[in-house]
Chain A
Amino acid sequence: MSLQNLNLLKDKHLQKALQHAPDSDAAPSKVLNKTVLDYANKALKVQRETWFSRLKSMFNDFKIARWKLTGMGSLAASLLVVVMIWHENPDDPIQVATAPDTLQTVAEPYVKQRAEPYAEQHAKPKIAQNELVRDELLTDQAVQKPQAVTKAAPVANEPIAASAETIAPEPEDKNEMKVFAKNRPVIPEAAPVASPMDQASVQLKERAASNEAVPMPAPVVAAPAPSVASAEVSENSVAQQSAPAIIAAEQMAEAEAKSDNADSEISSAAAKPTLTSNNALVQAISKVGGKAMANQDIQAGNLRILYLNNSVPADPPSLDNVTGYRVEFIADNSAKLAVEIATYNQAMRDWYVKQNQ
């Protein structure tokens, strides 16, 4: 475009008039000026602080982290020492559990060892001589004895349930039962608790008297061991106080076979422990686990301690020396089942301790 044409695009008269326009002195206010200038100053301040603050924060973080790192380092060192002590000889081969090569199960010594602390806690009195003998038998080879199969209703193919429990048969040796009753360890007295099982136990007495095998009603877990223990204690104390103590004890022992109990089978606990043909029980324990099975039995009032053995010893314990629960033998010797049985028994003993606290 020519210079002349370009000049035509700028009108001097209009330009001069524009210079004299009324708004030629228009200017931003002081507030507006301050706002803009402050904004620019702040932007520069942030810019300056950015790198400086980063450097400062790095330094501060380093200082803060030092003590944290010190604490963490101490903790790590402590853990390392613990681990080193824990594994004193890391070269030792890992011990593999092996199946027992004898009829004695793995559970029995385990049960015996675990039973000892419980015994100490409750300060049991000295066990009678015959009980000592019985304990010794538990650690010895099992003595073959004609198996006394329970006369109760067969439960081999029945699921282990609270309502499916059967009544143990009449004790075959009442004398033996009396001995056990007399030498039963003294259990600390507990306040007798009214049990809804009382009525059921009365029925049991009546039915037992009539030799009528009636399946037990579904027991309600309302009278755990303490009630049994209290009954036993009250019976024992009465036996001790009355003149014909032995006779009274015998009578009470007999009554106990028919008396109320949270577990109907405990009422006949004096019967010889039998080797249960209990495939269903074994299957149930294997399926649900020892602890779950124990919880089921506890809820059902079926308090017992299980022993693994293919045969019943010559002088088998009818009651567990710690809890007083019925002893039941299971014909199986597999290592896996032994673990579950141990878990089962531990759960039973924990329940006992809980009830006696």
Chain B
Amino acid sequence: MDELLTTNDLTDEALMRQFCAGDSSAFHILYARHEKSLYRYVRRVLGDSLVAQVDEVFQDSWMKLVDERNNWQPRDNARFKTWLYTLAHHRAVDILRKSGREISVDEGWADDDAEGAWQQWPAATAEQPEQKAFWNKAGQRLLQCLEGLPALQRAAFLLHHEDGLSLEEMTQVLNAEFETVKSRLRYALIKLRTCMGAHLQPLAEVERA
């Protein structure tokens, strides 16, 4: 017998349709699914200097989603998550512009040796318990390196690596062309690898961080 689908089994798009129809529990589920990831994205895009406005951007993003729920018309199987991050990104960019921080520098360094990076680092696939501290420190170092990136490159990196958006979805969120999105992402990776010491022995770089 087929199991009956519960509300929790519904996709984001189905829940959103239910919410538009007046089901408040559908929204509660949607919110629970995406609240933390969205909060982290907003926090990292704004950076440490604008951490005080993270809650405001987060709240405004969800409220705008509620207000615009009847205008949500997904096209070409567009995901709900893409729309949600689009609202949040636009709000965050507004805050960044008001703060005067650098938003976009669509230029980067020359291509590094991407294939040669991370050779001396532990493998990223398997994690040994004794390596947890190492990766914790690597993560701390990475946040510092992200602070040095322009906001749009930082956003491109986060959307692709943290939130799993495809390049096509990123074009919608970042409101940029496909090649622009690729360029931004490539530049972000080069800078981060350099910053993280991807070509160096990891333990020494991590300790210095």
A: which residues have CB within 8 A of B? 1, 6, 8-24, 26-29, 32-33, 35-37, 39-41, 43-44, 47-48
Contacts and interface: CB of A to CB of B under 8 A. Distances in A.
B144 to A, nearest CB: 10
- The interface size bin for chain B is 35 or more
A66 B48 CA distance: 65
* Interface residues of chain B: helix, strand, loop or mixed (majority): helix
B180 interface: no
**Nearest 3 A/B pairs, CB to CB:** A21-B139, A20-B139, A17-B138
Interface in B54-101: 55, 58-59, 62-63, 66-67, 69
Given A20-B138, A27-B36, 10 more contacts: A12-B124, A14-B189, A16-B135, A18-B158, A21-B143, A22-B140, A23-B44, A23-B143, A43-B66, A43-B69
B125 A12 contact: yes
16 contacts: A6-B167, A9-B167, A11-B193, A13-B117, A14-B196, A15-B162, A16-B135, A18-B142, A19-B139, A26-B36, A26-B40, A28-B39, A28-B55, A36-B62, A39-B62, A43-B66
A153 to B, nearest CB: 92
A39 B135 CA distance: 39
A19 B55 CA distance: 21
Given A9-B160, A21-B142, A14 B125 contact: no
A208 B22 CA distance: 105
Contacts of B31: 33, 36-37, 40
A1 B28 CA distance: 39
Contacts of B182: 1, 9
Contacts of B19: 40, 44
Given A8-B114, A9-B182, A13-B118, A32 B55 contact: yes
Given A23-B44, A26-B36, A11 B189 contact: yes
Nearest to A16: B124
Nearest to A9: B185
A21 B62 CA distance: 25
* Interface residues of chain A: helix, strand, loop or mixed (majority): helix
B22 A13 contact: no
Contacts of B24: 40-41, 44
B121 interface: yes
B59 A36 contact: yes
B136 A10 contact: no
Contacts of A12: 124-125
B121 to A, nearest CB: 6
B59 A35 contact: yes
A15 B161 contact: yes
Contacts of A20: 132, 135-136, 138-139
Contacts of A27: 35-36, 39
B184 to A, nearest CB: 10
A17 B22 contact: no
B139 A24 contact: yes
B44 A17 contact: no
B83 to A, nearest CB: 15
Contacts of A24: 40, 139
